[in-house]
A and B are shown apart, each in its own frame.
Chain A
Amino acid sequence: MSENEKDYAGPVGEGLYSVNTGDWRTQFPNLDQQLCIRCGNCLIYCPTNSVRRVDGRFEIDLSFCKGCAICAEECPKDAITMKKEGKR
C-alpha cells in the first residue's frame, strides 16, 4: 500500500487514472493556421479533447492525441493534414 492510500473497507478509487494514449498514434495532425477559419469543428469533433482554443486560435495538444484523423476529415478548409509519426 502506498503512503497516501486510504484504507477503505470496500472498493474505492480516488485520484485520476489515465493511459498515455499519445503513445498509440502512428500519425499526427498538423494544423495550418493560414488556412484555418476558426470554425471550431476540430475542437467539437475531437474524441480525446486534444484541441485547445487559446486567444481565439485553435491549437492541437498532442499529449493524448491518438491520431484518428477525424479533425483532418471534418475540417472544411483542409487546414489539417496528417503526418507520419516517427523519429522526429
Chain B
Amino acid sequence: MSVVDTLAEREDMISPGISACIGCNVELTLRTVMKVLGPNTILAIPPGCMGGVGVVGWNKRSGSKVPVFFPLLDNTASMLAGIRLAYDAKGRDANVVAFAGDGATVDAGFQALSGVAERGDRIIYICYDNEGYMNTGYQRSSSTSKGSWTSTTPVSKEGRGGKRQNGKDFPMIMAMHDIPYVATASPAYIPDLVRKVEEAMKVKEGLAYIHVYNPCPTGWGIKPEESIMVSRLAVKTRFFPLYEARNRKFRITVPVPKPLPVRDFTSRIKKFSHLNEEEIADLGKLAEERYLFLEGACARSSADA
C-alpha cells in the first residue's frame, strides 16, 4: 500500500472544519498522523494552535473523532503517562499520543517530557515546532531560531533586534535520553513522516518522540501557498535535517549531500528579513555544525552496528 493509498483511504479522524490558518502545515501534519494512528487512539492537545483552532472542541462538542483532551501547557507527557498506566492496570491497549507545539514541549512541558523519557513510559509524543507561541500572537520559545522577529523579540525600525539566542536542538536533546525512538520530520516529506509514525507505533519499551518542523505562514511571514515549499527548503539547506535514532543509534533518512545555501530558505520568510549577510551566514554555519555532528553520530552508529 503506497502512502497515497494510505492517505486516500484512511479516515480523517479530525473535524473537517477547524480554524487553522490558510496554508497551515500543522493542520496537514495533524490530519496525516491521525490517519496513520487510526481510531484506537487517545489524543492530548495542550494549549496552543491546535487547541485554539478547535481540535478539542468547543463547549459541548468535540473537534475529533477519537477521545481527546486538553492537558495543561506544562504536563502533556505526564498526563499521557497516567493514561498509559491506567490502561495497563485494566489490561487494555491504545495509542496514547501527544500532538503538542514547541511551547508546550521545549519550554513549559520539558520537565514532564524528560521524566517520561527517563522512566520509559510508553507514549507517542509528536511536537509541531513552529518556533514560537503562535496561537497567542507569535511570542518566542526556546526553539525559536536566532535572529527571528517574534512579538517578544521585536525588531526596530532600523532593523536591530530579533531573538538573541540560538534555538535548542531539541530532537537531539531527546535523543540523548537514549529513548527507543526519536525522529525528525517535515510536512514537505509526507512519506517519510508517515513511515516514522508507523515506526513510533511499533515501540513497546518506552517513549517514541517525533519532532516536526512546521514553518508558520502567519507567524513567520510566508505566503500560504509556499507553506510546503519553504518546509522543503528547511530540509534542503540542512537547516532542519531529517533523521531517526533508536537508543542513540542514528540514521539520516533524507540525506542532503549538496545543501542549498541557507539564504534560499531565509529569503522566503519575513521574520528573517532584517538580518544582514553575516547573521544569515551564522544561521547557515549553525546548521552545518549540527548536520556534521549528526553525520558523526551516524558514522559511529554504523561503526557499532
Contact = CB atoms under 8 A, between A and B. Distances in A.
A and B touch in the complex (CB under 8 A): yes
Interface of A: 5, 12-22, 24-25, 39-40, 43-49, 52-53, 63-64, 66-70, 72-74
Chain A CB within 10 A, most for which of B3, B17, B20: B17
A70 B58 contact: no
Interface of B: 2-4, 7-9, 12, 15-20, 22-25, 27-28, 31-32, 54, 56-63, 65, 187, 190, 224-229
12 contacts: A13-B61, A14-B62, A15-B62, A17-B63, A40-B3, A47-B23, A47-B24, A47-B227, A48-B31, A68-B24, A68-B227, A69-B23
Given A16-B61, A72-B225, 11 more contacts: A13-B57, A15-B62, A16-B65, A17-B15, A19-B17, A40-B3, A43-B8, A48-B27, A53-B9, A66-B22, A70-B225
B31 A44 contact: no
Contacts of B57: 13, 17
B145 to A, nearest CB: 23
Given A15-B62, A44-B7, A47-B31, A70 B23 contact: yes
B173 to A, nearest CB: 29
A61 B60 CA distance: 28
Contact of B225 (A18, A19, A40, A69): A69
Contact of A73 (B8, B15, B62, B225): B225
A4 to B, nearest CB: 10
Contact of A13 (B4, B12, B25, B58): B58
Contacts of B8: 40, 43, 52-53
A21 B226 CA distance: 20
